[in-house]
């Protein structure tokens, strides 16, 4: 399985990946739950699933056209007080969620591909932290 096939499986699932992620994330990183007070988590889960598709598209198509959107997301996260270091916790938790989600289809190669894609997106988001 490659990252594009991974996204296909995510989109075909009855259960949003975002919901699975946040269940794990809040256990692994309880100090970050405060940023989600008052947030509609069903909507947030759907937005995260959409963002994962965007991350894969940028990675697979090597396109830069989505960078302005990621910078805008970065600005939103910065303005909410989320530190640059918190993105590492996010990425690690997301990788574990993807591993659980894919089960036997998960591989070291798929993990490397997702990690590279996520770190590229995080790098672009963090550009807004310098402005």
Dihedral, 46, 50, 52, 55 alpha carbons, nearest 10? -160
pLDDT tens profile 47-67: 898 889 889 988 888 667 788
Count of CB atoms situated within 10 Å of the CB of 106? 17
Cα(first)–Cα(last) distance of the chain, in Å? Answer: 38
Q: What is the mean pLDDT of residues 5-34?
A: 92
Q: Which domains, from first to last, does the chain contain?
A: 3-130 (1.10.490.10)
Most confidently predicted of 9-18, 45-54, 93-102, 118-127: 93-102
> Positive or negative, the Cα torsion across 52, 79, 91, 33?
negative
Predicted TM-score of the model (pTM): 0.88
- Identify which has the larger pLDDT, 10 or 67: 10
């Amino acid at each position: 399985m490659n990252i594009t096939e991974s996204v296909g499986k995510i989109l075909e699932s009855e259960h949003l990946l975002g919901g699975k992620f946040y269940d794990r994330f809040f256990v692994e990183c309880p100090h970050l739950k405060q940023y989600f007070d008052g947030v509609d988590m069903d909507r947030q889960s759907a937005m995260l699933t959409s963002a994962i598709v965007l991350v894969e598209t940028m990675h697979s198509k090597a396109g830069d056209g989505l960078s302005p959107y990621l910078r805008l997301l970065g600005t939103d996260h910065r303005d909410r007080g989320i530190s640059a270091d918190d993105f590492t916790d996010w990425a690690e938790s997301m990788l574990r969620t993807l591993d659980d989600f894919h089960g036997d289809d998960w591989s070291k190669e798929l993990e490397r591909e997702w990690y590279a894609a996520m770190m590229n997106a995080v790098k672009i988001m963090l550009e807004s932290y310098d402005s």
